[in-house]
Each structure stands twice: as C-alpha cells, then as structure tokens.
Amino acid sequence: MGGNTIIEIINLEKHYKGAADAAVKNLSLIINKDEIFGILGPNGAGKTTTISMLCGIFAPTNGKIIVDGLTFEDNREDIKKIIGVVPQDMALYPTLTARENLSFFGHLLGLHGKALKERINYCLQLFGLEKNADIRVSKFSGGMKRRVNLIAGILHKPKILFLDEPTVGIDVQSRNVIREFLNDLNRTGTTIIYTSHHLEEAETFCTRVAIIDNGQIITLGTPLELIKSHGGANSLEDVFLQITGIKLRDLNYA
C-alpha cells in the first residue's frame, strides 16, 4: 500500500447464494487520500455490493480490502470508526426529531456529552436545519431528510465517507448545499467515495471515476481523461453510454 493510498481493493469477488453470476468479479482498485472517487454504473452493475463490502456490511467471497492500512478480518471496529456511510435510503427514525436521530447515531459513533451536542448544533446550523432540529423527521421535506441523513454519516469527522446517491430526489438548493459541504469536507482531508446515476454531477464533482458493469471495472480515470479517450464523447454521459450500451438495464432477479 503506497503512502497516498487510503483504500486498496485486491481481486474482490462476491457471489450471492443461488445467483448464477457473481455480483462483483475480480475487482482491483486503489483509491488515494483526498480523492472524490466516483463509482458509476448501470442498475445491477455491482456498485452497491462493492460499497457494502467496503463498509464492512457484506463480507467478500474472495479478495482483500485494505482501508487505511487495516483489514476487516483483523480491525473491523477500527475501520468502522474512520468511515462514514450515507445510504441512499433515509436511514433515520421518522418519529424521532432530527436532534434525537443525530444524538442516537452520534453515541453509536463514539461521541457523547458536550462534544456531541456541539457537533450536532454545528452541523444543523451548517445545513440550515437548526430551527427544525426538534421537529420529527417524518414532517421534513425530502431535501431536509437528505441533509439529516448526510449529517448522521459525518458527525464523527470520518477519514473516508461513502455516499450512495446523496442528492437523489431533492431540490436544487438542497443539492447545492450538500455539494458545497462535501467539497469543503474533501478540502479538509476527507476522502469521498460516491456512487450515482447523476453523471453530469459526477463529471464536475469527482476527481476520478470508475465505470463498472457486470461486477467488473470497465474503465477508470479522471472524467476529462475518459471523455478524451472515448472518441466522439463530449461528456461523461456519452462515455457511459458508449461503454455500457443504450439498452435498458433492469435488475436480474432470476
């Protein structure tokens, strides 16, 4: 593992029981510190499975994941302390207030007392939620929920932040707030690993992207490199369509 590497994935494979094909096949990748790394791909390409293995939620069938020099086999708890996860679903308790949700997740992240209170207040203010902090999340708009969902993943100032579609289904204002915050977070040293279907956003937001399909990396590079290397492509979306085709992709449940 090089000095600038924060995540090293070596020959990663995941076979789900009963599935004919592997969800992730022989995937190897290095992600450097301070990157905003995009994992892009069509539905069923293996993005969520890859992220889930990187967060330690699923165990790989084969291969190895090294996070900041640690492996899940030996240092699962230590890795979980330095990563933050923002799932695509609103992973919040709807009948609790924003503050109660954040307090609960903050405690589980190892924070407590005055430090936790101050951190929650700071984040709520940063995301413009301080006035609604004591209102139940079920009464929030989609954008407000997304912001609370994001705060719950960054309360402990993680070294690495995993984001699964963080801006899906929200208004432009909320998206801008989130984008600006994530850029600031990255500037202060947090590595961001991001999955999205929003290719325009990925093109401007990510420093490097990997497009994966059928559980394998098809291409890897900066958005500009990828656009240049694919003749006739004017955007990351063109590259994506050239590589993954124009056919509709539905998840194969067979």
Partner 1 sequence: MHKFLAILKKEVLLLLRDPSGLAILFLMPMTLVFIMTLIQESTFNTLNEAGIPIVLVDNDKDSLGASVIFGLSNTKACVLTTVLDGKPATVESAEKAVAEGKFMIGIVIPAGATKAIRSNVRSLVEQTLADSTVDLSSIPPVKHDTVEISMFIDPVTKRSFINATTSALREFISQIKSKIIFTTFSEEIEKIIPGKNKATPADIDIVRYREEYAAKDKSFILPNSVQHNVPAWTIFGMFFIVVPLAGSILKEKTEGTSFRLRSLPGNYVTIISGKVSVYVMVCMIQFVLMMCVGVFIIPLLGLPALQLGSSHPGIIAIALSTAIAASGFGVMIGTFATTDHQSAISGSLSIVLFSAIGGIWVPPYVMPSIMQQLSSISPLNWGLNAFYELFLRGAGLMDVWQQSFKLIIFFFLTVLTAHLYNQLKKS
Spell out the residues 6+ positions from residue 89 whose beta carbon is closer than 8 angstroms to its own: none
Find the angle CA(23)-CA(164)-CA(33) to the nearest 5 degrees. 95
Least spacing, CB of residue 109 vs partner 1, in Å: 6
Which residues in this chain contact partner 1 in the complex, by CB under 8 A?
55-59, 77, 80-81, 83, 85, 87-96, 100, 103-105, 107-110, 112, 136, 152-153
**Closest separation in Å from C-beta 86 to partner 1:** 9
The nearest distance, CB 196 to partner 1, in angstroms, is 17
CA angle 7, 13, 14 (to 5 degrees): 115
CB closer to partner 1 out of 124 and 150: 150
Minimum CB distance to partner 1 smaller for 55 or for 206? 55
DSSP-derived secondary structure letter, 63: E
Nearer to partner 1, 117 or 136 (CB): 136
Nearer to partner 1, 102 or 239 (CB): 102
CB of 84 to partner 1, least distance (A): 9
DSSP string, 111-149: --HHHHHHHHHHHHHHTT-GGGTTSBGGGS-HHHHHHHH
Whole-number Å distance between alpha carbons of 200 and 141:
24
Which tokens sit at 191? Answer: 């590595």
Q: What angle do CA 92, 124, 79 make, to 5 degrees?
A: 60
CA distance 233 to 247: 18
**Least distance between partner 1 and beta carbon 85 (Å):** 4
Residues 6+ apart with CB under 8 A from 161: 83, 84, 85, 86, 153, 154, 182, 185, 190, 191, 192, 193
Q: CB of residue 246 vs partner 1: minimum separation in angstroms?
A: 31
Nearer of residues 1 and 57 to partner 1, judged by Cβ: 57
- Which residue lies nearer to partner 1 by CB, 81 or 228? 81
